[in-house]
Amino acid sequence: MIVVTGAAGFIGSYLTAFLNQKGYTDLLLVDKGSYLKDSKNLEGKQWADTMDRNDFIPWFKQHADQIDFVFHIGARTDTTEFDEKIFQKLNIDYSKEIWKVCSKSNIGLVYASSAATYGLGELGYKDDHEIIEDLAPLNPYGRSKNDFDIWALKQPSQPPFWCGLKFFNVYGPNEYHKGRMASVIWHAYQQIASSGKMKLFKSHNPNYKDGEQQRDFIYVHDLVKVCFWMMENRPENGLYNLGSGKARTFRDLVESTFKAMDKAVDISFIPTPEDIRDKYQYFTEADMSKLIAAGYDKPFTSLEEGVEDYVKHYLSSHSYY
């Protein structure tokens, strides 16, 4: 049996569907009970059982022999949440318990880390274990992810295979419920559909023109392919970046969205709120050399192709994967 935590969420539900397509239906889906019950993300998916996240750890400790692999995708991901206790409980302590059981019972583990660990990118975006303790995340969410990465690397007792995947800017189907935390593409689609226009933040950095702030955007389908590849191939344990490996501008993203919606481009710019200006990332780009060296050779979807697929096959019809 394979465990997927955060199974009712954006990435977890997409991974569940992907596993189904690969022939895996003996799945234990873990999430907040109400999410599992009411999530449209899980409609049409197949699994063996579901479990509330609060019940899972005690159950796992007693029934680890039933589990073959764990995808720990669940986490508190709200970058505007500043209650450190929430992140300590859900992102650090919970993950430690999963790690300990996997280590004791020889169960493989893939868990979600984050590119938020890199902060402003002062040390670059290379998944080098030597720099992890020197990274300076910009918010409690990023710190919680980095704190767990640091802890994991120091553990003498480890799962037989484990990797922490540093997700960059993920977009794609099944994120309807995320609201303000949904991808920029989702927000762009909503704005363009309602007004025919899109507003982006101005640049307050002389090195970047308005709209030319850059991010590494990765289509969720590419992301879950890597997760699945990790389970099947089990390369060297450790942290791995998971982006497209190519930074693109917000203007590129929004123009692609207008094109996919068959609408004329109409972009304007508004000031970046002062309370986030000093924490605003102007550039992120995953160094993907480690994953490639580990043997992963599948191409990543271009921004234009990903946006077109997402808009035309999902957003326009409010469809799920």
Does 3.30.1370.160 match the CATH number of domain 172-214+247-284+306-317?
Answer: no
| Active site amino acids | 141, 178
What is the band of 295 on the pLDDT scale with cuts at 50, 70, 90?
very high
Kindly state the tokens that stand for 288: 């993907």
Query: Helix 94-105 vs helix 140-153: angle between axes, to the nearest 10 degrees?
Result: 20
Share of the chain above pLDDT 70, in %: 100
* Cα-Cα-Cα-Cα dihedral sign, residues 20, 26, 28, 33: positive
Rounded distance between C-alpha atoms, residue 313 and residue 61, angstroms: 41
* pLDDT per position as a tens digit, 7-61: 999 999 999 999 999 999 999 999 999 999 989 999 999 999 999 999 999 999 9
- Say yes or no to pLDDT of 278 above 90: no
Return the pLDDT at 214. 97
Residues of the chain with CATH 3.40.50.720: 2-170+217-245+286-301
pLDDT higher than 80, residue 79:
no
CATH of 2-170+217-245+286-301, one of 3.40.50.720, 3.50.50.60, 1.10.490.10, 3.30.70.20: 3.40.50.720
Helix 94-105, helix 53-63: angle, nearest 10: 20
Span 115-138, pLDDT tens digits: 999 999 999 999 999 999 999 999
pTM, rounded to two decimals:
0.96
Please report, in angstroms and rounded to a whole number, the separation of the first and last CA atoms in the chain. Answer: 22
- Rounded percentage of the chain residues whose pLDDT exceeds 90: 93
**How far apart (Å, rounded) are the C-alpha atoms in residues 218 and 10?**
14
